[in-house]
Structure 1
Amino acid sequence: MADTAIFDVDGTLVDTNYQHALAWFRAFRRFDITLPIWRIHRAIGMGGDQLVTEVAGEEIESARGHDLREAWTEEFDLMIDEVRPLEGAKDLLEEVKRRGFRLVLASSGKAEHVNRFLELIDGQDVADAWTSSDDVAASKPQPDLVKTALARVSGASAVMIGDSVWDVIAAGKIDVPSIGIRTGGFSTAELEEAGAVAVFESLPGLLADLDDTPLGHPTPRAA
């Protein structure tokens, strides 16, 4: 059982993954580096500090990492108005909060983007806290973001809800169970192999079956 629910934002609560992949593709093209978009998509969910090495190698990270991340920000900002909430995001957050969980919204994205996305789902009104890559030394799949999210609300134990294997891996590194949502494009088998204790096709699917997950009932808080 857990007392804290940590929700990934990008790709889990708001539909951003394909904008992210295209922005990275265009950022790499600025430096005459052409990568298959499917390969970039497979790395979405990592923070930019991890993604460049993952898809292009350490040499490109060393030579162009900072410039690529700046280019990605510029390209993504051109598409940010296209981002919409995923179906059921607000209803799910409200129900999890109603059940008594501390609620933290966490993203490997930049704080300015996260704040924009929270407005789309009224996240500031329902969440107890939120975090971004600006709050940690290393983003997913390192566990820093999960640790920071739990600490923000003085939680004792948590469950992570995310759309990518990187969310699941990050949480697993500190023994936090995860629920996978297939909105990131990863298969059920991939999410389960990474360590997810349950996988759902959508947020409404998770909402309908909350009682059968670690989000059924929170651990009672100490007096």
Structure 2
Amino acid sequence: MFSAALFDLDGTLVDTEPRSQAAWRRLFREHGVDLPEPLLASFSGRPGKTVLAENRHRFPGEPTVDDLFAEAMSYATSVAEPMPGAVDLVRALHELGWPIGVVTSGTRDYANAELTALGVRPLFDTVITAEDVSRGKPDPEGYLLGCTRLAVEPARTVVFEDAPAGIEAAKAAGTFCVAIGADSSAADLVVTDLTEVQPPFSLSQSR
């Protein structure tokens, strides 16, 4: 039924959410700007520069998006751990001969560094980053581009995502979406973590 897989990066392959949230909190705090929890939660899975462009007016003096982004990245210095089951699943799919890729809202340098730290960068056939698309998640552009690069139809592609914006993007692209740790009615299947996904598999169950 399926013949290719695309993975989100943050929160799906690497446990970066605590690090990212800490960086956002510090950025807003350093500028004396309030950051309500619902607003912080809405950042998950979305391109950082898009988030900052939407919220730049909150910052005194309205610093540039590039300056705010660089400052936020300087606060994200801790080492992220792999998500449970992520590395094993990537290696298993690679050994089965599946074309696999990453679709992330992060930058290319960031994605390559994180995947290299996990020891899996050479296993991916393509890595789609914020520099490769004009519209970030929840727009499906990134996942559609990923399918094109893997030469596989979206309907035959499994996407693994953890954030609402990414799940929305995956479904809009026409893929089968597995949500990790997110009780999402939009996903086709929900799992606690990637240890529950054991290839070869047939993810025909719907939520």
In the other structure, the counterpart of 2:121 is 124
Identity rate of aligned residues, in percent?
A: 23
Q: Which residue of 184, 188, 207 corresponds with 1:197?
A: 188
Counterpart secondary structure, 1:159: strand
Q: Which amino acid aligns with 1:115?
A: N
In the other structure, the counterpart of 2:139 is 142
Instruction: Please state how far the C-alpha of 1:69 moved relative to its aligned partner.
Output: 5.0
Residues 1:32 and 2:29 aligned together:
no
Contact 2:12–2:83 under 8 Å retained in 1: yes
CA distance in 1, matches of 2:150, 2:65: 34
Q: Which amino acid aligns with 1:206?
A: V
Q: Is the alpha carbon distance of 1:80 and 1:115 closer, same or farther for their aligned partners in structure 2, counting shifts above 3 Å? A: farther
In the other structure, the counterpart of 2:77 is 80
Contact 1:103–1:127 under 8 Å retained in 2: yes
Give the TM-score normalised by the residue count of structure 2: 0.84
User: Could you give the per-residue CA deviations for residues 125-168 of structure 1, whole angstroms, max 9, x where no partner exists?
Assistant: 21111121111112111111112211222222322111111111
Contact 1:3–1:102 under 8 Å retained in 2: yes
CA distance in 1, matches of 2:88, 2:80: 18
Contact 1:5–1:159 under 8 Å retained in 2: yes
Residues 1:166 and 2:165 aligned together:
yes
Contact 1:140–1:167 under 8 Å retained in 2: yes
Number of residue pairs matched by the alignment: 202
Q: Is the alpha carbon distance of 1:69 and 1:26 closer, same or farther for their aligned partners in structure 2, counting shifts above 3 Å? A: farther
Give the TM-score normalised by the residue count of structure 1: 0.79
CA distance in 2, matches of 1:72, 1:105: 22
CA distance in 1, matches of 2:32, 2:119: 40
Contact 2:49–2:69 under 8 Å retained in 1: no
CA distance in 2, matches of 1:76, 1:210: 38
Counterpart secondary structure, 1:45: coil
Instruction: Please state how far the C-alpha of 1:22 moved relative to its aligned partner.
Output: 2.0
CA distance in 2, matches of 1:118, 1:80: 16
User: Could you give the per-residue CA deviations for residues 93-140 of structure 1, whole angstroms, max 9, x where no partner exists?
Assistant: 011223332100121011111111111222222111112111111211
In the other structure, the counterpart of 1:179 is 178
Instruction: Please state how far the C-alpha of 1:72 moved relative to its aligned partner.
Output: 3.6
Residues 1:47 and 2:39 aligned together:
no
